[in-house]
Amino acid sequence: MKKIKTTPLAPQEFEVEQLSDNEANIIAFPFETGFAISLAHPLRRFLLSSSVGYAPIAIKIEGAKHEFDSVRGMLEDISDFILNLKEIRFKLNGGVTEAEINYNFVGPCIIKGSDLSNGEVEVMTPEAPLATLNEDSTLNFKIKIAQGIGYVPSEETHDELEDGYIALDAYFTPVRSATYKIENVLVEDNPNFERVIINIRTDGQITPLDAFRNSLEVMYAQLAVFNSEISIKAPKTIERVEENPNLKRLATNIDSLGLSARSFNCLDRSNIKLIGEIVLMSTNDLKNVKNLGKKSYDEIIEKVQEFGFAVGADLSDDLVSALKKKIEAKEA
């Protein structure tokens, strides 16, 4: 006789598989049949539509009045220059939400994304081409960069710009792709439960895990309208979902990495006992561990990556705080 339920099984397992700095798989299970896709599909929509990012919204080029103009000595015309600019991904520093950045270039030179980085802005696509100047060319321009979500066409910002600026279509979302797949997973003797794997790839403005966390915040905020007492506290719920599995793994002893005796002993003599301590270190800090040679350094980097993390990984503030408490407790 089929077992009768009064409530669906709540998934308990949550994993983050870090594929690179800008790509990760978010894995959760077990779900009742049909529940996984019911959650994965809206989360994918929120990832693509509500993730906050930066984009150029306008440009002012000395000597150019419109996007079909040209600049003396520049190989690209203004329309090609703007197309190239849209492929460059920016991130404003210091928590600034909008800025106007000035640039001046003298040829001959090939201008790439890396040439646009300065104290005000960081470029996430350093190799992206922008323009080519010959030996007697000068290029002076200003870019307005703003923070936003989704896509905003140039028509919506045109009227707010000063004279001389060319409005740009703005692609704010830092999430380059978000896909999911559903797999069957065995629970006791029942093979009909589901596991969801959400693959997230960003442009570097934000980590995949932070993008996922933000999408959850937006999802909870949208659902809160149905709760008459607004008792759902999204940040606490997200903190519980995000931190517990990762915190447990980061607080694991370095024995679990399967290091060679030499590598293990170097870490152990430096009182590095937990995997999270290695993850919190920069690569330079790790290199400076006493008596740690290059072979041992490479081995530790590889083993930490196999464990699902990276040395110097950009962890959330809450996770770092909780991990440091674990480290302090170990040292007490």
Evaluate whether the domain defined by 250-331 bears CATH number 2.40.30.20: no
Query: Which tokens belong to 227?
Result: 């709760």
Q: What is the sign, positive or negative, of the torsion defined by CA atoms of 300, 305, 308, 310?
A: positive
Phi, psi of 307 (to 5 degrees): -75, -10
H helices present in 161-260, as ranges: 208-223, 234-250
| Cα distances (Å, whole numbers) of residue 35 to 8, 105, 160, 195, 242 | 9, 55, 45, 10, 20
- Residue 186's identity, in one-letter code, is L
Helices (H) and strands (E) in the chain, counts: 9, 14
Name, in order, each residue with C-beta under 8 angstroms of 75's C-beta and a sequence gap of 6 or more. 131, 132, 133, 134
Sheet of strand 13-20, all strands in order from the earlier edge strand to the far edge: 13-20, 23-31, 190-202, 175-187
pLDDT of residue 226: 74
Phi, psi of 109 (to 5 degrees): -165, 160
pLDDT of residue 243: 45
pLDDT of residue 234: 45
301, 263 contact by CB (below 8 A): no
> What whole-number distance in Å separates Cα of residue 269 and Cα of residue 262?
11
Domain spans of the chain, in order of start: 13-51+175-232, 60-151, 250-331
> What whole-number distance in Å separates Cα of residue 113 and Cα of residue 252?
40
pLDDT of residue 236: 44
pTM above 0.75, yes or no: no
> What whole-number distance in Å separates Cα of residue 8 and Cα of residue 141?
59
| DSSP assignment letter at 113 | G
pLDDT of residue 64: 87
- Residue 210's identity, in one-letter code, is D
**Along the 332 residues of the chain, how does pLDDT read in single tens digits?**
457 778 888 888 889 999 999 999 999 999 999 999 999 999 999 999 999 999 999 999 998 888 888 899 999 999 999 999 999 999 999 888 999 999 999 989 999 999 999 989 999 999 999 999 999 899 999 999 999 999 999 998 888 888 889 999 999 999 999 999 999 988 877 888 999 999 999 999 999 999 999 999 888 888 877 765 555 444 444 444 344 467 778 888 888 888 888 888 888 888 888 888 888 888 888 888 888 888 888 889 888 888 878 888 777 777 787 788 788 876 65
51, 62 contact by CB (below 8 A): no
Return the SS3 of 131: strand
Evaluate whether the domain defined by 60-151 bears CATH number 1.20.1440.230: no
Q: What is the number of residues in the chain?
A: 332
Determine the topology of domain 13-51+175-232 in CATH.
Gyrase A; domain 2 (3.30.1360)
CA 50 to chain centre: 14
